[in-house]
């Protein structure tokens, strides 16, 4: 069952709102512009919802018009104010040179400013108001620039951090500066959570969006202060008093009305104090599940429904996969930018360190959350923490997983490799990269492994620095067996020596080979370098080649069929010397045809390529009788269980799966690229496989 903790992205639709929408579609379906009874009924519905919104928002005599959502409200407000600025300028009045917006504003605001500034030919400078590490606008900066601003845009509460703006401070600053600027306040995240008292403040425009508060997507509101300039975005049939033409979205308005009625009657939504208690429980659960966790905004000045945090050493993608495996839906920032996996610009604007901006996770719930929902969320957060500990990713491990063979550490633009002899508790690190040192040290500690050797394909000075950095990150206790008599690339003893890494039953032999210098390399001449060859009986050998995957001498140097493990990130690091063996064909299998596919592939093996902490958290769906293997993508090169073993069995069909289909697609494509003809990926991953008829656990609304 889902625990949906991404309410700042959107919310489910409240039961009352669903009923109201259906009633507006089925019974009260009239066009409010019609003058017959059916139309009059629709008109009365709109009037009722508008009056309700006016009371709740403290909108006084201001205009409230229904829009399709906040983005439309923002466009209308920006067009209206910029249109008025242009008129002022044409009349010879000074309008300043700046259009200001808070540096943490939703993208819709600066993009709208740039768009309309260009279209209206205003040529004003669009500039961000800086914020402090607390996320609050720098009022001293605003005081300096306010007199030169034509429009100021400051959100009421931030969608990523929940930071609540000091609207009274902003109003006072604008007034003290004698600013004539128009003022837009994006009220999206504040609706239902903060009293806005719109008419008491000098706010000119305030857009809102229904789907952030249990109404459907596609309905919103725009408040316009009496006397504020207005230019319709949509001209046409004159609906909404000609402020916004187009037949009204009656089902959306009815649904929004039901939500607002629930807000007013106080029975459906929790009070601010209750919400704060809920947030405190979630915050406590997070702190005890993830040692070292920091909150990215002060909780005291934030919405009681939003938590934004980072955990040292855990990128947000890893945490999202972890939570998702426990069926807890959180996000890595705003939903709009989530797909781009870029560091959060909001946290960057707050001046937080890079590691915090790159590993931020947002957890947000709606004011309809109840005790049972929060209790379940707390339990799942604890389970996530436990799964991480058991996978050696956070704190001391309570149940270290056995870890033999080859592990790839990969991120950004590079890979390091770890060879583990589980029996003797020894680890060899190949081409260490500083960004993985912490992780290697943690793996060693957690699995009680001894670092035995640090091998490097790179030139000696680089190799020496990388080795020294890694040793510094490791505990002395994990270095007791380190071989110190080595050559410049970390190889113990003479160049001919061969080391047996694992117990005799699955003996892994490691040997040092030498690649000659390559004067004809396309990226410039390459010096001679070592290559480490790992061999296991019955499977293709693995050659760790660092940056030399394209070296023309590899084919002669290595045994036929050797797989290359380069320093490239992810499965792209795995190559053949010559890529002529690539297997063609479409590797994707849709969940709908899965059962038939399994029947058509005798001996099929389903390979779960998610990380161990994800596997620990989720039950497997029904498997249609196929054999199941768990092998994280980071262990794809493992000689005993991964690609080398599968390539030795080319007739065995393999179907990879993961959470969303991304990693399994990489695995299937890699296997095909390496020449395995029967590798497939489950399209859409477990998310699609499990979606048929799964109950969803959401607040009782």
Q: Which residues bind ligand PLP (CB under 6 A)?
A: 69-71, 106, 108, 155, 159, 186, 188-189, 209, 211, 220
List 336, 474, 565, 658, catalytic entry: 336
User: Would you mind telling me the total number of residues written for the chain in this entry?
Assistant: 701
By beta-carbon proximity to ligand PLP, the closer residue of 155 and 637 is: 155
By beta-carbon proximity to ligand PLP, the closer residue of 332 and 642 is: 332
Structure tokens at 545: 């080649």
**DSSP letter assigned to residue 165:** P
Give the whole-angstrom CA distance, residue 258 versus residue 450: 63
Answer yes or no: are the C-beta atoms of 346 and 376 closer than 8 Å.
Answer: no
Shortest CB 73 distance to ligand PLP, Å: 8
The span from the first CA to the last CA of the chain, in angstroms, equals 16
Shortest CB 338 distance to ligand PLP, Å: 11
By beta-carbon proximity to ligand PLP, the closer residue of 117 and 334 is: 334
| Strand-pair category, 149-153 with 182-184 | parallel
Residue 153 annotated as catalytic? no
By beta-carbon proximity to ligand PLP, the closer residue of 69 and 252 is: 69
Which 3 state secondary structure label does DSSP give 125? strand
578 C-beta neighbours (distance < 10 Å), count: 8
By beta-carbon proximity to ligand PLP, the closer residue of 314 and 368 is: 368
In DSSP notation, 182-247 reads EEE---TTTTTTS---GGGTT--EEEEEGGGTTSPTT-EEEEE-TT-----SS-SS-TGGGTS-S-
By beta-carbon proximity to ligand PLP, the closer residue of 338 and 482 is: 338
Shortest CB 102 distance to ligand PLP, Å: 10
581 C-beta neighbours (distance < 10 Å), count: 14
By beta-carbon proximity to ligand PLP, the closer residue of 69 and 150 is: 69
Shortest CB 186 distance to ligand PLP, Å: 5
By beta-carbon proximity to ligand PLP, the closer residue of 111 and 423 is: 111
Can you point out the beta strands (E) in 292-404?
A: 294-295, 306-310, 328-329, 361-364
CA 254 from chain centre, in angstroms, equals 33
Shortest CB 207 distance to ligand PLP, Å: 7
Shortest CB 461 distance to ligand PLP, Å: 49
Answer yes or no: are the C-beta atoms of 553 and 519 closer than 8 Å.
Answer: no
Angle CA 202–206–210, to nearest 5 = 150
In what side-by-side order are the strands of the sheet with 508-515?
A: 498-500, 508-515, 529-536, 542-546, 563-566, 574-576
Q: What are phi and psi of 483, to 5 degrees?
A: -80, 120
CA 648 from chain centre, in angstroms, equals 37
Q: What are phi and psi of 569, to 5 degrees?
A: -75, 150
Answer yes or no: are the C-beta atoms of 518 and 550 closer than 8 Å.
Answer: no
In DSSP notation, 412-439 reads TTEEEEEEEETTTTEEEEES--GGGHHH
Nearest to 303 by CA among 383, 369, 239: 369
Shortest CB 107 distance to ligand PLP, Å: 8
Shortest CB 247 distance to ligand PLP, Å: 20
Answer yes or no: are the C-beta atoms of 457 and 545 closer than 8 Å.
Answer: yes
By beta-carbon proximity to ligand PLP, the closer residue of 103 and 598 is: 103
**Known catalytic residues?**
336
């Amino acid at each position: 069952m889902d625990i949906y903790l991404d309410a700042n992205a959107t919310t489910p639709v409240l039961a009352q709102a669903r009923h109201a929408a259906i009633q507006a579609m089925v019974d009260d379906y009239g066009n409010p512009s019609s003058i017959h009874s059916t139309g009059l009924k629709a008109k009365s519905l709109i009037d009722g919802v508008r009056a309700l919104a006016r009371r709740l928002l403290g909108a006084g005599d201001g205009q409230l018009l229904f829009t399709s959502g906040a983005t439309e409200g923002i466009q209308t407000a920006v067009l209206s104010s910029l249109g008025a600025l242009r008129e002022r300028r044409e009349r010879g009045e000074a309008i300043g040179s700046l259009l200001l917006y808070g540096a943490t504003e939703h993208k819709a605001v600066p993009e709208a400013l740039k768009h309309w500034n260009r279209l209206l030919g205003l040529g004003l400078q669009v500039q961000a108001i800086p914020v402090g590490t607390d996320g609050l606008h720098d009022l001293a900066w605003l005081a300096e620039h306010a007199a030169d601003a034509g429009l100021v845009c400051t959100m009421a509460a931030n969608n990523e951090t929940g930071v609540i703006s000091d609207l009274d401070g902003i109003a006072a600053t604008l007034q003290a500066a004698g600013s004539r600027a128009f003022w837009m306040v994006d009220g999206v995240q504040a609706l239902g959570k903060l009293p806005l008292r719109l008419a008491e403040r000098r706010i000119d425009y305030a857009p809102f969006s229904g789907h952030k508060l249990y109404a459907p997507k596609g309905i919103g509101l725009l408040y316009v202060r009496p006397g504020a300039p207005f230019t319709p975005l949509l001209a046409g049939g004159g609906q909404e008093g000609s402020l916004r033409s187009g037949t009204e979205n009656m089902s959306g308005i009815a649904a929004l009305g039901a939500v607002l009625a629930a807000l007013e009657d106080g029975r459906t939504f929790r009070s601010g104090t209750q919400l704060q208690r809920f947030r405190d429980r979630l915050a406590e659960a997070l702190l005890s599940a993830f040692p070292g966790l920091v909150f990215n905004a002060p909780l005291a000045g934030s919405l009681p429904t939003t938590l934004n945090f980072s955990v040292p050493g855990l990128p947000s993608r890893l945490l999202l996969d972890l939570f998702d495996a426990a069926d807890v839906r959180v996000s890595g920032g705003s939903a709009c930018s989530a797909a781009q996996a870029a560091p959060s610009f909001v946290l960057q604007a707050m001046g937080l360190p890079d590691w915090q901006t790159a590993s931020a996770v947002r957890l947000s719930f709606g004011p309809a959350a109840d005790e049972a929902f929060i209790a379940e969320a707390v339990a799942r957060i604890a389970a996530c923490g436990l799964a991480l500990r058991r996978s050696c990713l956070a704190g001391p491990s309570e149940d270290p997983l056995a870890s033999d063979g080859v592990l790839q550490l990969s991120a950004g633009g590079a890979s390091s490799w770890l060879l583990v002899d589980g029996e003797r508790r020894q680890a060899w690190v190949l081409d260490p990269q500083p960004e993985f040192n912490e992780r290697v040290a943690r793996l060693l500690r957690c699995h009680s492994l001894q670092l035995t050797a640090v091998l490097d394909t790179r030139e000696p000075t680089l190799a020496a620095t990388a080795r020294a950095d890694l040793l510094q990150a490791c505990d002395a206790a994990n270095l007791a067996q380190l071989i110190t008599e080595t050559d410049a690339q970390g190889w113990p003893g003479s160049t001919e020596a061969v080391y047996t890494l694992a117990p005799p039953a699955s003996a892994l032999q490691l040997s040092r080979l030498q690649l000659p210098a390559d004067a004809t390399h396309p990226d410039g001449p390459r010096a001679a370098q070592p290559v480490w060859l790992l061999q296991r009986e019955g499977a293709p050998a693995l050659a760790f080649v660092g940056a030399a995957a394209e070296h023309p001498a590899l084919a002669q140097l290595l045994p036929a069929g050797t797989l290359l493990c380069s320093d490239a990130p992810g499965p792209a690091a795995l190559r053949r010397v010559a890529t002529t063996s690539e297997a063609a064909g479409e590797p994707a299998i849709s969940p709908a045809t899965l059962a038939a596919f399994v029947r058509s592939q005798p001996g099929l093996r389903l390979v779960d390529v998610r990380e161990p902490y994800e596997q620990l958290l989720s039950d497997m769906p029904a498997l249609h009788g196929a054999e199941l293997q768990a092998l994280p993508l980071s262990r794809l090169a493992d000689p005993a269980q991964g690609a080398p073993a599968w390539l030795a069995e080319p007739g065995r069909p393999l179907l990879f799966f993961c959470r969303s289909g991304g990693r399994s697609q990489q695995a299937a494509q890699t296997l095909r690229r390496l020449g395995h003809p029967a590798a497939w990926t489950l399209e859409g991953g477990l998310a699609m496989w499990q979606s048929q008829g799964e109950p969803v656990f959401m607040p009782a609304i």
